[in-house]
Amino acid sequence: MAQSKVFSLIYRQLVKWFAKRIWPWIVKNIWPELQKLLIEVFVKVVSALKESIFEWADNRKNNREQAAQKKAAEAEQMAQAAQSEAEAEKYRATAQVWREVAEQFRQENELLKAKLDDAAKKSASDFRNEMNSMEIEDLIEEGEDDSLKLKGSGTVLQLPEPGDKS
C-alpha cells in the first residue's frame, strides 16, 4: 500500500510539472504547427469533396445533356422524314426546344460548379480564420489541482498512470 501512495504522489508531482513546464512549451512550439497541419488537412478534405461533387455533377449533367441532345437529333430526323411541311415544322420546333434544354442543363451545371467552388473556398477560408483565431487557452484550462482540463467539460487530460502499459 505504501508503494501505491508513493506512485500516486509521484504521479501528482509529474502532472504539476507537466502543467507548469511542458504545457507552456507545447502551447508555444507545437500548437502553431498543429494549427497549420489541421488547416492543410481540412483544405485537402474540402478539395477532395469538391472534386467528388464536381465529378457527380458532370456525370449528371452529361447524362441529362446527352439525353436532351439525343431527343433533339431524333426530332430532327423525324422532321426530315416528315410527310408534310407542317409535320416537319412541328418536329423542327421540338428539336429546337430539346437543344435549348440541353443548353440550359449546361448553363445550370456551370452555375452549380461556380457556387460549389465558392462554397468550398469560403468554408476553407472560414476554417482557416477560425483556427488562426483559436488559442489553445480557448480549449484547455488549468484545474485547481494543477491538472489540465478541456474547457467547459471538466474532462481532465491525464498522463498515464505509473506502470500503465497501454
Q: What angle do CA 133, 136, 141 make, to 5 degrees?
A: 135
Answer yes or no: is 166 within a domain.
Answer: no
Per-block mean pLDDT, blocks of 10 residues, the chain (166 long): 72 80 81 85 85 80 82 86 86 88 85 85 84 72 69 67 56
- What's the structural domain count of the chain? 1
Whole-structure pTM value:
0.52
Query: Residue 57: what pLDDT?
Result: 76
- Residue 19 domain boundaries: 2-144
Q: Which amino acid is at 139?
A: L
Answer yes or no: is 105 within a domain.
Answer: yes
